Each structure stands twice: as C-alpha cells, then as structure tokens.
Amino acid sequence: MARIALVAAVAMTLTACQTKTEPFKSLTAGTVGTTTVAFQTADGRLKVGSQDIHLTFVDVAQKPVITSQPTLVLTLAAGGGSPGANLPVPLTETSTGSYTANVDLGSQGNWQGTVTWAEKGAPLTWSFASMVL
C-alpha cells in the first residue's frame, strides 16, 4: 500500500511540474547585435485597459544580459479621430535582464513600441508594432 501511495505522489508531482505555466507569453521579440529583446504580456497580446508587461534581454546562449537605463515608450499615431498618444512606461527590474511594468492603454489602434537601453556603454534601440483591440 505504501508503494502505491509513493507512486501516486511522484506521478502528481511530475504532472504539476509539467503543467506549470509561465506568467507571461511572448508578443514579439527582436535581436539587436547579440541581444534579443522579448516583449511579453499575460496572454501574448496588448489590449485596451490596464495590464502587466514584461521585457527580457538575453544573449545568443539565452543568458540574461546586463543592461542599464532601459526605457519603453508606447506611441499611438494620431488619426481616425484619435489625437494619438505618447506613453513612457516606467520599468522595474525584477532580475538581471528582466523588467516588468503596468501599462494602461486607453484606445485601440496600431501602437508602436520603442525600447532603448545601454549595453557595455553603447546605446541600443529596438522597435516593434502591435495592434491593440
């Protein structure tokens, strides 16, 4: 009976490990030099309203990259009755090469994101676009 309980406990532990979900899903990623920047949200998309976002910086070996002064600005061009928006997003470092923030997007549209940072003293920039519905 003890053997059956042990097997059941091991099976439950393995199942729990396999079904563990990551808190963020990648929306987009890009590589600048040898650094890949990934922009992530809870469900892999941007939407109108308040949401948490996550930025990661990794090298070709998928190891975190030490960055300094990373910034994120989300921009919505004016048009279609919208005055546009320019939203600087304050980032909080959670670990080396990993940052989170909360953004509150007030309108739908084609938002542009620009990430800037310094790596070994060199300024770098990566941009992306995402449709917000």
> Residue 121: pLDDT above 80?
yes
Position 99 in a domain: yes
At 9, the pLDDT band (50, 70, 90 cuts) reads: very low
Position 10 in a domain: no
Q: Distance between CA 66 and CA 117 in Å, rounded?
A: 10
What is the rounded average pLDDT of the residues 91-99?
97
This prediction's pTM: 0.79
Position 15 in a domain: no
User: Tell me, what CATH number does 108's domain have?
Assistant: 2.60.40.1930
What pLDDT was estimated at residue 20? Answer: 39
Stronger pLDDT, 113 or 4, i.e. the higher one: 113
Q: Whole-number mean pLDDT of the chain?
A: 85
What pLDDT was estimated at residue 79? Answer: 77
What pLDDT was estimated at residue 14? Answer: 38
User: Model confidence over 28-37: pLDDT tens digits?
Assistant: 999 999 999 9
Position 13 in a domain: no
Q: What is the domain count for the chain?
A: 1
Helix (H) or strand (E) holding 126: strand 122-132
Position 9 in a domain: no
Instruction: Give me the phi and psi of 104, to 5 degrees please.
Output: -130, 100
> Residue 88: pLDDT above 70?
yes
Position 30 in a domain: yes
- Residue 71 structural domain: 23-132
- What do you get for the CA distance between the two ends of the chain, in Å? 55
> Residue 3: pLDDT above 80?
no
What is the rounded average pLDDT of the residues 46-58?
96
Residue type, 133: L
Position 67 in a domain: yes
Position 88 in a domain: yes
